[in-house]
Amino acid sequence: MSRLSPRPLPWNAHPRCVLRRSAAAALLLLAVSACYDDEPTGPGVRSRPAEPRLLVTGSVEMDIGDLGYGGVFVQDMNDAGQIVGNTSVNPGIDVGFFWEPGGEMELIAGGTEECEEVGDDVYCYWITGVGRAINDAGLATGWTEGGVYSGRAVYRWSRAGTSWGPGGGNAINDAGDAVGGAVLWTAQNATIPLGTLPGQWNTDAVRINNARQVTGTSGPRGFFWQNGSMQDLGTLGGTGTEPADMNEAGQVVGQSDLAGNAAFHAFLWTPGGGMVDLGTLGGASSRANAINAHGQ
C-alpha cells in the first residue's frame, strides 16, 4: 500500500470513491467503479447549508459570498472586519475560508483529496477544513480533518503562508499564540503542554488572551491557566463548568451546573473574586457567551 500526495479536489467529485486501475497499463480508468452514496458525517461535515451569509456593519449589509455550494458558517471576526469560518464546497463537505471587506471569499483550509493505493484500487478521501479564529493582525487558526488517516492537522494562516503545528486550533491571540486541546502553540513554534486538573482528563483550551492566560475545560471542569499553573474555576454547586469567553483581564464567562445538574446558570469568574452566578431571565438555565474589556 502506498500513499499519494494530496491534490486539489474537483468540486463535483464524490467525497469517497474507489477508482479501478487497468491491470495492463496501470492507468486509472476514467469511470468510477464504486462510490458511496451516503453523505459523510463527523466533525467539520454538515448535511445541508442553512446559515445566512450577511455581514452587517451599521446599516450596511454585505453578502460575503460562498465557495460554490452555500452554507456559510462564520466562526470569528477581528476588529478590521476580517472573517474566518467554514463553508460547503460540495453537499456535506466543508472547507475553511477567509473573507475581508472589499475582497472575495478565499479557501484557506481543506478542499483537497488524499488517495492511497490498495492493490489494483485507489481510494480517495476528502480533506475538510475549518477557519476557527482570527486575530487583529489577520493571522488565523483552525484545522483540517480527513484524508487517508482521518487525522486532524492544526494550522496558522496568513497572507505570508500556512504553518502547521500541534493543538486544537480553537483560539489565537494578537501575538500569534494559538491554543486548543491540551497545548499552547506559541508564535515562536514552541509547544507548551497545559496539563490537566487533578483527577480530570481531556483538556481542551478554548480561549487565550494577550497575557497568555488560557481558559477551557479539563474533564467536566473549567480551568484558568497562566505561567504553567492550572486553576479549577469551581462550579455553582453541580458537576461541570464550561467556559465560553475570556477578556484581557482574565475574566471568564460561560455556564456552570447547579446542584443536582438539572439546570445551569451563566457565570462570571475573576482571578481575584472567583465565580459569581449571573442568574437567568426567568427560565431554568442561562449561558454567557462573551465578555468585553469592561467586564460586561
What was the pLDDT predicted at 68?
A: 81
**Per-residue pLDDT reduced to its tens digit, 155-195:** 999 999 999 999 999 999 999 999 999 999 999 999 999 99
Report pLDDT for 148: 83
pLDDT at 56: 54
The CA R_g of the chain, rounded to the nearest whole Å, is: 22
pLDDT at 92: 74
* Residues linked to residue 252 through DSSP beta bridges, in sequence order: 246, 269
Encode the chain (296 residues) as per-residue pLDDT tens digits: 444 444 443 333 333 333 333 333 333 322 222 223 333 344 333 333 344 455 555 556 778 888 887 789 999 999 999 999 999 888 778 999 999 999 999 999 998 888 999 898 888 888 999 999 999 999 999 999 988 877 889 999 999 999 999 999 999 999 999 999 999 999 999 999 999 999 999 999 999 999 999 999 999 999 999 999 999 999 999 999 999 999 999 999 999 999 999 999 999 999 999 999 999 999 999 999 999 999 99
| β-pairing verdict for 2-3 and 252-258 | unpaired
Model pLDDT, residue 54: 56
The structure's pTM equals 0.81
* Mean of the per-residue pLDDT values of the chain: 83
Could you tell me if 16 and 36 are in contact, meaning their C-beta atoms sit under 8 angstroms apart?
yes
Helices (H) and strands (E) in the chain, counts: 0, 27
What local confidence, expressed as pLDDT, does residue 59 receive? 59
Q: What is the DSSP string of 71-118?
A: EEEEEEE-TT--EEEEEEEETTEEEEEEE-TTS--EEEE--EEEEEEE
| Strand stretches in 91-190, DSSP E | 93-99, 106-109, 112-118, 121-134, 140-146, 151-158, 161-165, 171-172, 178-180, 183-185
Quote the pLDDT of residue 41. Answer: 40
What region does 226 belong to: left with phi over 0, alpha with psi -120 to 50, or beta?
beta
CB of 238 closer than 8 Å to CB of 224: no
